[in-house]
Structure 1
């Protein structure tokens, strides 16, 4: 794989975070609202801390991605609970709040569809490998030859970037550009909700950008400048720095794929390709047993991990959709 050249990093909010003066300490919010907001932000900080990689092998692995999506679902569920705690009926929502919530939700649904599409592509590619393994298990020279061709096709298929994941990147750009949420006047509860939505948006952009980076031929990362006045700000900045640095390092090394599990499978595939001659003989099938077994184990694990990750993405989609549907239903009843 040729050396990839990443475009210059974009530093958002170059003149400081527009939310720096919105922390509870300086907002003169009632103590009850401060407690609600602080509880939400502490939970967010704890989730971000759980995502901090213990080593370089944690980044861009399916296990990390599964955990990241689980925690993102928890945060979005927390927002629903926060709205209930605020006792802020939809008829009392400022129009800006409604527009922001609806805009974010529809974009997140589109992101989910893009990620689901890419996971489906990976599942199909994995199914192709399992068929290859079946052919390799056969002591038949023709099937061995077909398997050799299929291994080459797998490598070509797995590196194909879909248009949907590219559209996901455009959506992420728009979410980052709109991080500067509108100010809410004359509504202390509205201010709390808006600040909570800011935290949700930051976590969502970060997680989804890592996902996009796993499926692209170049990293899709943001360097968000987050104020330490947020209870989760310092934790997020540390997490973002470590994860982004490792992803950029992975791409700089020019690996076949940045996703750890796929990289491991590709190494097995490459080994098998070298072992199978263009015109294989039946006897050569016996020499492949160990490599076939290794590839089979890795594809089986990949299948289970992809299933778990797909389930979490679907769960995220349902959480976002349920919140959006509830808001629209309440608006129709106003």
Structure 2
């Protein structure tokens, strides 16, 4: 899903976000040319950053930022597209079904790290782990956001053992240090010195635990067990019969969900579905998504359902 850029503030007036301006919510936020109104509960629940910025006691003599459209909390460190994707994590009504592109998960991950949302960060990692990224793209994303590099052993191994060497464009994505480390791994994993100081350009002579141990050594990673845990012992990794390691298995399986209170969400919030919203570049207003006019929320403490009244934005 492509993400068009948001028009500049010079050309477009401030507009209520079509999906995430929720009348029943309690905090108003301006990002670029869009006004958001959402539930502070989601922002304050695990972020010290938002707890501090939305602290009412810090403004005893006047209304705090975020209290109204005339006095919004302004976020200059995010784009409206990225912030809408970030909010989608909380308002996605299919609690365990998320469909987004690597670019969108990267935007969400960036804001989660910036604002201290650890659970959202873990959700991003789990989703990225399940995506069929190329080895170069995975390394680029994980290193950019300083994720656990033990999750990259399979990618390092793929680039080490493949026939083709690292290309120019790949090297620019990987960076100088990583490109040199992969080149070293490729050289050391090839055939022995032939006597002329050259190694075989294609035949990999090291495999299994020895290859993973070599990669761990070159990239300064701890040896890896098959359950994803680091080993403080000798520098070798145990053999995995599948020759692949599930290092995401240790991640928490709990993703942020919406509250179970009746009437907590208006229809505008329930339209996000399992895909993040996007902006229409030809229209400064975000296109509403088509859903049933009678969304409902489940009361997790009983088997009853509460209807949610529609709100015309």
Q: Could you state the TM-score of these two structures normalised by the residue count of structure 2?
A: 0.26
Q: More helix per residue: 1 or 2?
A: 1
Q: Could you state the TM-score of these two structures normalised by the residue count of structure 1?
A: 0.25
